[in-house]
């Protein structure tokens, strides 16, 4: 069963690896995620070399079905974030398998 890496885990990892205070590590993680979020909100891609690319894609409105009632509904258009792993990350994951 896979574990989940949380924001707190990231903060602790930075604290342990770099030696910064937990509060400073927390600010770094928060600011980094904030920059990524704001960039995606503007529709730009976020490319992290050696890791991958986050991108916003637009999904058109489409017909759907409520599985409980079998009623046909229209799902509104919306935006989703997709992630594409870099070649380096894919290679690393496949080597570890």
Clarify whether residues 14 and 54 are in a common domain.
no
What is the rounded average pLDDT for all residues in the chain? 94
The three state secondary structure string of the chain is CCCCCCHHHHHHHHHHHHCCCHHHHHHHHHHHHHHHHHHHHCCCCEEECCCEEEEEEEECCEEEECCCCCCEEEECCEEEEEEEECHHHHHHHHHHC
Are residues 28 and 13 in contact, defined by beta-carbon separation less than 8 angstroms? Answer: no
Are 19 and 52 members of one domain?
no
Structure tokens at 25: 């590590």
Task: Write out the residue range of the structural domain in which residue 23 sits.
Answer: 1-42
| pLDDT surpassing 80 at residue 11 | yes
* Same domain, residue pair 48 and 1: no
pTM over 0.85: no
At 97, the pLDDT band (50, 70, 90 cuts) reads low
Residue 29's pLDDT is what?
96
């Amino acid at each position: 069963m896979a574990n989940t890496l949380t924001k707190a885990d990231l903060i602790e990892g930075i604290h342990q690896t770099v030696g910064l205070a937990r509060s400073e590590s927390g600010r770094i993680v928060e600011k980094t995620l904030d920059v990524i979020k704001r960039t995606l909100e503007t529709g730009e891609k976020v490319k992290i070399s050696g890791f991958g690319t986050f991108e916003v894609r637009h999904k058109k409105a489409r017909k759907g079905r409520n599985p409980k009632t079998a009623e046909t509904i229209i799902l509104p258009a919306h935006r989703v974030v997709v992630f594409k792993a870099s070649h380096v990350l894919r290679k690393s994951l496949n080597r570890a398998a």
